[in-house]
Amino acid sequence: MNPVRDVKMCYVYVIRSLSSEYWYTGVTNDLRKRFSQHQKGPRGWTKQHRPYELIYYEACRNINDAAAREKYLKTGTGKRYLENRLKRFLSLTG
């Protein structure tokens, strides 16, 4: 039993469009698969802003915590938190 691999995590993530600087915040239990869907997916809200880069994620132990965190990160206060948290990263890439 591997205590790290055996725990099912949920992820709150933020991706940034490389074409329009658009940010999208979401929740998933499979971050790699979901990011791939954003990159390749033929439909959905994020289709028109492709390609993306993953700029931030947090792991949670249950979906309710992850959904609550996503909701917070989509508020004005949450967006300011992300901008402050990613300030150095954004200045290096922007």
| Average pLDDT over the chain, rounded to an integer | 90
Residues 33-58 have pLDDT tens digits of 999 999 998 777 788 889 999 999 99
pLDDT digits (tens, 9 = 90+) for 67-77: 999 999 999 99
Band of the pLDDT at 90, cuts 50, 70, 90?
confident
List the domain boundaries for the chain: 10-93
For domain 10-93, say whether CATH 3.40.1440 is its number: yes
Write the DSSP string, 17-78.
ETTT--EEEEEES-HHHHHHHHHH-SSSTTGGG-SEEEEEEEEESSHHHHHHHHHHHTSHHH
